[in-house]
Amino acid sequence: MTFGMLPLDVEVPDAPSGQRTGRPLRAPPRTIARWPFVLVVAATVAAGPIGLVVSGAVVGALLVLRLRLIVADPDLPDLVTVPWRRGRPAQVLPGFTRTVGSVEWGLTSAYDFDAALRPRLARVAAVGLLERHGVDLHADRSAAARLLGPEAWAWLDPERRDAPDRSTPGPDRATLARVLDAIEGTLTERP
């Protein structure tokens, strides 16, 4: 269907005698297509302002696709092609992911702190106290409390009762930072 236009490669007679000259008849190029205007007017008449908006969006999308097809010429030699490959995602250590999760949950409630974060922190503190100071966290509680400090010991005491539910607030970030500093102090200091 050509809508009144001849195809580009049709030969038409040149002379009145009906002989063909072999020259193809080319239609003059149109710079603006008519179909978008027809679509917008028809939709506006049929559906009013909503038809105008919908048809405008459809026409815009179709024109963008048409321009992409016109511009996307695969035979352009001066364009540099860069091979794109999807790399494998970086492997995340599962222990690190669990630790980050336990820290985030431990900040929300004392129950989550007691269930996930306190055992990890207590293990690190126990290793630091035993290796650096010769103090067993569970056997010599008074020396461990003295080395860790009162605030850190209040959160890391192995005989501390677990919070009964999640309504009890956990340590805030500043308190957790001070507890971590106390544990780090046991790892670095020597008596």
User: Mean pLDDT over residues 169-179, rounded?
Assistant: 90
Residue 40 carries which DSSP code?
A: H
Residues 6+ positions from 82 with CB-CB distance below 8 Å = none
d(CA 31, CA 84): 36
Instruction: Please compute the mean of the pLDDT values over residues 10-30 and round it to a whole number.
Output: 56
55, 40 contact by CB (below 8 A): yes
Mean of pLDDT values over 39-67? 84
In residues, how long is the chain? 191
Of the two residues 137 and 21, the one the predictor is more confident about is: 137
pLDDT of 94: 76
Of residues 83 and 168, more confidently modeled = 168
- Is residue 11 a contact partner of residue 21, using CB atoms and an 8 Å limit? yes
Token digits of residue 104: 């985030």
pLDDT of residue 52: 86
Alpha-carbon distance 76 to 72, whole Å? 9
Section 15-30 average pLDDT = 57
| pLDDT given for residue 55 in this prediction | 87
Average pLDDT of the segment spanning 21-38: 65
Average pLDDT over residues 18-26: 57
Over residues 167-190, mean pLDDT: 86
How many angstroms separate the CA atoms of 142 and 135, rounded?
10
Beta bridge partners of 13: 20
Closest CA relative to residue 144, chosen from 96, 114, 170, 183: 183
Distance CA 41, CA 150 (A): 80
pLDDT at residue 16 is higher than 60 = no
pLDDT digits (tens, 9 = 90+) for 67-85: 777 666 556 555 566 666 7
Asked if the model's pLDDT at residue 1 lies above 50, the reply is no
Q: Is the pLDDT of residue 93 over 80?
A: no
Check whether 7 has a pLDDT greater than 50: yes
Residue 87's pLDDT is 73
Which pLDDT does position 151 carry in this prediction?
A: 92
* Rounded CA separation 118/94 (Å): 19
Does pTM top 0.75 for this prediction? no
